Structure 1
Amino acid sequence: MHIKTILVGLLVISGFLLGGCANVPPAKPNNICDIFDDKSDWYKYARKSEKRWGSTIPVMMAIMYQESQFVHNARTKRTKILWVIPGPRKSSAFGYAQVKNETWYEYQKSSGNNWSRRDRYQDAVDFIGWYNAQSQKRSKIRLNDAYNLYLAYHEGHGGFNRGTYKKKTWLRNTAQQVANRAAMYSRQLPQCEGRLKGPWWWPF
């Protein structure tokens, strides 16, 4: 009985360690091939989202990097009460894609992905693909236009359509960084995509 208890304990600890490793951000986020080599399942989920929504893998990955640096449980910083006491967070944005509660609920209802989680990569990349598809419909943005897709992602479609970003130099600079990263990922991906796709019959 004692040995069985020890074995169960070891299995539980191993599970926690493996789960923790699975959530560690990619070691080399500046190369999309290194990212997908590091995270073996990420490419197939990104490709699935690309095929479903039409938004390209480099654009989705560049937006995700900007939002969370691929940290699965990223959150906004807490406010301070009397400059010392931790207060409420600035928003409910959470996860790989930094999505607010209400936007995530809209995605779940619209996409049918009711059991999705913001801290799970496959759901987060599907969300970004879905949101970019909404940007195409609501704001007439091309699905490979990383610059304007990010502005709409940050400001919301109503804000983007009203041009709220025009007075935010910092945001336009950030959107350009996203566009630059998407272009970099686009140059890198052909170097490894052939082997990442797998055999011709592979569903993704």
Structure 2
Amino acid sequence: MSRLLRASVFLLVAACGGNYSAPSRLDDACAIVNQRPEYLSAMRSTEARWGVPVAIQMATIYQESKFVGNARTPHTYALGIIPMGRASSAYGYSQALDGTWDDYVAQTGRWRARRDNIADATDFMGWYMDQSARGLGIPKTDAQNQYLAYHEGRTGYARGSHLQKGWLMGVSNQVAQRAVLYDTQLQYCRG
């Protein structure tokens, strides 16, 4: 294969592959939306459709994938060297599990939705958090408890599985703090 043909194929694949890298300054909501304006557009659409604030979406995506579109859980190994697969089927910005994603697609009719697409991932999060608000009574503005239900699943949250996980309670508190930080920052960069 000639160099020109190889270079052309590489560029074509790269152009179709999408941008899965994270924005450069994840502690600055304004920097994130300036670098990736499509993120803010997607999150605003989700907020309008499902009522989940942009800052809560951002804080959840930060915790789940650090804004990496094709994020996956790490591989597990037997005896420290034999690959056994991934810890779960979680994938994409929202780290949605296969079964939960399938439920979302079936209930919303969004058959072409992809977990590595920011607009689809945020819509999924909005749908999930809307269901948590309806089924569990968690306000959509309650970042900490919305995250706990998101992480544990609504059934796990209802059973109180998160209460035995001190590390998860700490993480959910960090998500809530990040949501406040992002919300404050977004108020200044929107104008």
TM-score (norm 2): 0.92
Q: Deviations over 1:146-167 (max 9, x none)?
A: 0000000011111111111111
Correspondence for 2:41: 44
Identity of aligned residues (%): 40
> Hey, what does 2:57 align to over in structure 1?
60
1:20 Cα offset (Å) = 6.2
**1:197 is matched with which residue?**
none
Consecutive unaligned residues of structure 2, counting only runs of 5 or more, are: none
Q: 1:9: how far off?
A: 5.4
Deviation at 1:123, TM superposition (A): 0.8
Please tell me whether Structure 1 or Structure 2 has the larger radius of gyration of its CA atoms: 1
Q: 2:134 aligned with 1:137, yes or no? A: yes
Residue of structure 2 equivalent to 1:199: none
Verify the 8 A CA contact 2:59 2:178 in the aligned structure 1.
yes
1:75 equivalenced with 2:63 (yes/no) = no
Partner of 2:106: 109
The two structures have a TM-score, normalised by structure 1, of 0.87
3-state SS, counterpart of residue 22 of structure 1: coil
Q: Which residue of the other structure, out of 26, 45, 48, is the alignment partner of 1:29?
A: 26
Hey, which bits of structure 1, 4+ residues long, moved more than 6 A? none
In the alignment of these two chains, the number of paired residues is: 190
Query: Could you say if the C-alpha distance between residues 13 and 165 of structure 1 is closer, same or farther in structure 2, counting changes exceeding 3 Å?
Result: same
Amino acid in the other structure paired with 1:47: R
Unaligned runs of 5+ in 1: 195-204
> For 2:184 and 2:29, how far apart are their aligned partners in 1?
9
Superposed CA RMSD: 1.8
Aligned to 1:171: 168
